[in-house]
Structures are given as C-alpha cells and as structure tokens.
A and B are shown apart, each in its own frame.
Chain A
Amino acid sequence: MATIEARGLRKDFGTTIALDGVDLRVEEGRILGLIGPNGAGKTTALNAILGLTPYQGKLEVLGRDPWTAREQLMRDVSFIADVAVLPRWIRVSQLLDYVAGVHPRFDRAKAEGFLAKTTIKRASKVSQLSKGMVAQLHLALVMAIDAKLLVLDEPTLGLDILYRKQFYDSLLNDYFDGKRTIVVTTHQVEEIQDVLTDLMFIDRGRIVLECSMEEFEARYAEVMLHPDHVAGARSLKPMHERQVFGRSVMLFENVDRGQLAALGEVRTPSIADLFVAVMTKDEKSDVSGQRSIGGAK
C-alpha cells in the first residue's frame, strides 16, 4: 500500500481549477518536496490529502478516504499547516495536556524532551513566544507523535535561517527513521535539496515534473560553458540558458555528462535552477499548445 495514492484528483473553485487531474503515488519512507509557484495548487493538494477539502477523483491516504475519515486518519498523519496556526491564547503546558489527552500516539515525555532543548517555558502562552519558538513548539509536538505521514506546508515561512536549518536538522535526525513518509512544500527549495528523496513540480493544478533525487542527479546537468562552445551546446537543445558573470550556463536533460564535460564545467543543478527552467519552458510550450516536460502525466 502506498502512503498516498491519487488518481485523477480534481478540485475547482468555481471557474478556477486548482487541481486538474493529478495522478500521484508516494511510497512509504519517502521525503517528497512539492514545489510550485504561488497558486499552483500545492496547498489544495495537501488540503485534499489531509481531509480538509472535498475533491473529485480517487484519493487514498494510508488506505483511507481523507474526506470521510479525517478523524481516524489524523491518528497516523501529522501536519504543520504553516507557522502560525497554534492558538495564541494557549499555554505550553495546556497544549501538552490537550494533545496528550486526545492523541493516542503522542508521547508526552518525548515532547518534553524536545522542549527541554529549547528556551520555551511551560507556563508561557503561545502569544508570548517568538515566531521561531512557536515553530519549535509545533515541531516538538509533531515529532512526539508516532505518525506514518507528516505533511509540512511552508513550515519555515518567515523564520530566520538559524531556525530554518535547525528545523530540518531536527526533522532528519530526531524524527525521520526511513519508515515514515514526509511531504513538504516550501519556497526555500535550496534548503531542502539534500533532505528530499523525491521531487515534484506542480503548476496550474498539474504535475509538470516528478522524479527521485537519484533520477534528478542522473537526468539533469548544468554546464558553465567555455565561450567558444556556446553554439555547439545550443545544438544539444538545452532546457534553459542563463548568463552568469557574462558566461552562459545551460541546463540539459538526458544528455551524456561526458559529452557535456567537453563543453565546460558540469555540475548537478540546484532544484531552484531546474524549477526556473521548467517553469519558463512551460510558459513557452504553452504558446505552442504543448505541455510535456519531464515525467508529466
């Protein structure tokens, strides 16, 4: 059983189509990054997975229909919707009491252990904590829940770089055990490049690229070209071309690295660079009425 399985997932808000027939399969033990521009349908997809919004098409999360079985599903699924959803009036101790009182898989001692590493006081109200501390608190709660799936929607938005780094470090070191599944959306893609096992780009309600990080490294290469090889490189049909300090940098898909090495310095592109390449190419192909990039279905 896949952790998440969607077939023809659709969702519209009146005339706006948020999800346009998404097919998706996330296996156990993966860390999937869902990347897309604003309004691409990322949050709608996550909301459907979490049972927060009705949808058309078939969707199963841990074998359940999230819309009809949210309560049962939430025993095995945790999510951090964004940084500021913890109620501001609640005290840290009350929050621990409440989650311990309603969640069968919450390990209070574990949460207390995580909190002991921070400066968060048990008697503080959430409204008295800084944004970074609220994120730490929420993460401590979530990491103390023995869930099978963790969904993170922009979990580090608005946090400074120290908190962001710490957030993903804790997640990998103290939470991820190779058996849980994590789905994360973020705009700070550079920071999660080394965290992910799988990558998915979503745009205008459709998946425009999906691959594992091994495939990503094998499939895409970026070359900083020697000035004399620019024309030759263009004949290999790069996905994207940009200028860095007056030199051309081209991104290639499925072109032999040995062949590229002759043209300049080859390296694995960043997710951000690939994202820009796919999104701008997507716009161009839209003009000609074609949309087939990467692993799009």
Chain B
Amino acid sequence: MTAQPNPPPLFSGNPEVSGLAYYGAPTRPLYWSVWRELWENRSIYVAPLIVAAVQVIALAISTIGLAERRRAVLLLDDPVKQRAAIEAPYDMAAMMMIFVVFIVGVFYCLDALHGERRDRSILFWKSLPVSDLTTVLSKITIPLVILPLIAFASIVCVQVIMLLMSSINLLMHGVSPATTFAHFPVFQNWLVMLYGLIAIALWHAPIYGWLMLVSGWARRATFLWAVLPFVAIQILEKIAFGTSYFAKMLQHRLMGFAPHAFGFHGGDHPTIDSLAQLTPGRYLSSPGLWIGLLAAAAFLFAAVRLRRYRGPL
C-alpha cells in the first residue's frame, strides 16, 4: 500500500476523554437505549394499559348494587372486616397489575438479547459507540425500574377512577362516599404499593438477570432453556433424595420478599393496616435479598461478556 504523509487531524481533540463527547453534542447512551427498548417493546406499556382498561370496565359493572353492599358492610361489627370488604377490590386490581407486569418482564427479558441477534440488528447496534455494558444495563432497567413505575402509575390511575365511580354511585344512592375513605387510606396504600413494588423488583432481580443471560446465550427456544434446567433439578432431587428443597428455594425466590418486607398480623387477613407494618430494615438485612442481588449481578456480568462475542444468529 502506498504511504502518504498524514495530514493534520480534521478535528483536534483528546480522544481519551471518555463518557462525554470530545466533539459535537454530549451524548446520553443509557437514556436513549432505554427509549429504544420502549420503542421496540410496546408491550411494556400496552399490556398494563389493556389490563387497566379491563379493570375499569369490570369495576364499572361491579358498581351496580354497590350502595346495598356498602350498607351491609357498614353493619358489620368488626372494623377490620369492614375495611377488608371495602378495600378488597382495590387490592385485587393492584395484585393483578403486579402479576401482569411480572409476566411482561419475564417475556421481555427472554427476548432482550435474543431478538437483536435474530433480526441481525445487533450488527447495527454494535456499529454505534454504545458499550455492551450500557446495552445490558438499559435492558435490565426495563423490569427493574420502568415496569414497576408503569405498574404503580396504572394502579394509581385505576384506583382513582374506581374511587370516582364508586363515590358517584354511592352519592346517587344516598350513601356517603366518606365511608370509603374512612376505611380505606388511599395515600397510605399507594405508599405501601410503591414500597412493595421496589421490594418485589429487587427480590426478583436474579430472575430477570438469569432470563437475560439465557436470552443472550441460547440460539433458540429461550423459554425452554431458561425453565427446563430448574424443572430437571427438581425432578432429580425428588427422585434421588425424595426431597423438594430446590422447589422450596424457587418458591422463596418468587414470593419470599413478602415476609421480609412486611410485618403481617397473621391469621386470615394478611393485610397492611399501618405504615408501621413496612419493615425495610428487616428486608434490607435479609440474606435472601443480597444473595439474590449478587446472583443478579453475576448473571448480568456474564450477559455483558457474552454479548461481546455474539453476532447474528
């Protein structure tokens, strides 16, 4: 190859300055990568919206006869039972939403690092100055931050609409809507909800991390690769030792946040009546949380390393 004298660089600047641009506008790779995920995976917000719409319709139908039921509830002698009866539909709507965003998160993660290889767009993403770490972090932000926030916003919206609908209905039938608010501390419940969503997201972090690792590793059938090893271990344990510790461990990973994050009264109504029942100290000092977060970090680190080697399928 013929050598030519190098002309002076077109733009002088220090190429070692990382993070901030040394030419042109400052960039925000993580911020825009999260937007990119939302553009690609519209189920992240469409699914909660649909669920919210269904809930509103169902609740609208359930307001028929609300006044009679409310009068019956107010006749109960136990205020705990009164509160439980009034609160139940609100809690049910919230639980449904939390379950739905969990499912959305699971399927999102299973596709997160697989879809870009399947459609070959990984070659385009890798042609931009965005690191594998930024990419993986932007993707895990969806189940750990974005989905809980969307769930919280949807729950608040649905409950506000519920309160409005039921209050109007009660007024029209001569019952004071104040009976709702007397037994159902709305703002306190939202605070509990937010706390619970954060506790759940952190507790489930290793699940999302594992799913993301599998989505970056498997060539196909990500769901099977993600789930079958656990089924196999359970079967092996059951047949070989007749025990089911592994199944208990999995169950603990799915639901174990609750006894750590909340101080339940026990009995038939595991409800949260006061903010004193939130136990963030106990939650933050539970080994299960930190073991889970360590596992999540390990899975994500492996996913970042793996993406370096990955090209289109």
Residues in A lying within 8 Å of B, measured CB to CB = 1, 25-30, 32, 47, 50-54, 70-76, 78-82, 84-91, 94, 97-107, 146, 179, 198, 210, 212, 214-215
In the complex with contacts A90-B39, A101-B27, A105-B24, A85-B124 CB distance below 8 A: yes
Q: How far is the CA of A77 from the CA of B58 in the complex (A)?
A: 55
Q: How far is the CA of A185 from the CA of B1 in the complex (A)?
A: 17
Of the candidates A28, A86, A107, the one whose C-beta lies within 8 Å of that of B124 is A86
Of the candidates A84, A85, A101, the one whose C-beta lies within 8 Å of that of B29 is A101
Query: Could you tell me if A102 and B32 are in contact, using CB atoms closer than 8 angstroms?
Result: yes
Residues in B lying within 8 Å of A, measured CB to CB = 1-4, 6-7, 10-11, 15, 18, 21-29, 31-33, 35-36, 39-40, 116, 119-121, 123-124, 126-131, 308-309, 311
Q: How many A-B residue pairs have CB under 8 A?
A: 126
Q: How far is the CA of A149 from the CA of B22 in the complex (A)?
A: 17
| Nearest-CB residue, chain A, relative to B39 | A94
6 A-B pairs with the lowest CB-CB distances in the bound complex, closest first: A104-B21, A101-B32, A87-B121, A81-B123, A74-B129, A71-B131
Q: How far is the CA of A72 from the CA of B18 in the complex (A)?
A: 8
Q: How far is the CA of A71 from the CA of B40 in the complex (A)?
A: 23
| Nearest-CB residue, chain A, relative to B18 | A72
Q: Please list 6 pairs of residues, one from A and one from B, whose beta carbons are closer than 8 Å in the complex, sorted by A's number.
A: A27-B1, A84-B120, A87-B119, A98-B32, A103-B128, A214-B2
| Nearest-CB residue, chain A, relative to B312 | A85
Minimal beta-carbon separation of B3 from chain A (angstroms): 6
| Nearest-CB residue, chain A, relative to B122 | A85
Q: How far is the CA of A26 from the CA of B311 in the complex (A)?
A: 25
Of the candidates A26, A91, A104, A214, the one whose C-beta lies within 8 Å of that of B24 is A104
Query: Could you tell me if A74 and B128 are in contact, using CB atoms closer than 8 angstroms?
Result: yes
Of the candidates A30, A50, A97, A212, the one whose C-beta lies within 8 Å of that of B35 is A97
Q: How far is the CA of A86 from the CA of B128 in the complex (A)?
A: 12
Of the candidates B2, B7, B36, B129, the one whose C-beta lies within 8 Å of that of A103 is B129
Minimal beta-carbon separation of A130 from chain B (angstroms): 18
Minimal beta-carbon separation of B118 from chain A (angstroms): 11
Minimal beta-carbon separation of B240 from chain A (angstroms): 36
In the complex with contacts A53-B311, A105-B24, A85-B128 CB distance below 8 A: no
| Nearest-CB residue, chain A, relative to B4 | A27
Query: Could you tell me if B129 and A75 are in contact, using CB atoms closer than 8 angstroms?
Result: yes
Query: Could you tell me if A101 and B31 are in contact, using CB atoms closer than 8 angstroms?
Result: yes
| Nearest-CB residue, chain A, relative to B32 | A101
Query: Could you tell me if A104 and B26 are in contact, using CB atoms closer than 8 angstroms?
Result: yes
Query: Could you tell me if A102 and B128 are in contact, using CB atoms closer than 8 angstroms?
Result: yes
Query: Could you tell me if A103 and B27 are in contact, using CB atoms closer than 8 angstroms?
Result: yes
Query: Could you tell me if B2 and A212 are in contact, using CB atoms closer than 8 angstroms?
Result: yes
| Nearest-CB residue, chain A, relative to B127 | A79
Minimal beta-carbon separation of A283 from chain B (angstroms): 26
Neighbouring A residues of B116 by C-beta, 8 Å: 87
| Nearest-CB residue, chain A, relative to B309 | A54
Q: How far is the CA of A80 from the CA of B123 in the complex (A)?
A: 8
Q: How far is the CA of A262 from the CA of B130 in the complex (A)?
A: 60
Neighbouring B residues of A215 by C-beta, 8 Å: 2
Neighbouring A residues of B40 by C-beta, 8 Å: 87, 89-90
In the complex with contacts A72-B129, A79-B127, A1-B6 CB distance below 8 A: yes
18 new A-B contacts at CB < 8 Å, known A27-B2, A30-B4: A25-B1, A28-B4, A28-B7, A53-B311, A54-B309, A72-B18, A74-B126, A81-B120, A84-B120, A101-B28, A102-B28, A102-B130, A104-B24, A146-B10, A146-B11, A198-B1, A210-B1, A215-B2
Query: Could you tell me if B4 and A71 are in contact, using CB atoms closer than 8 angstroms?
Result: no
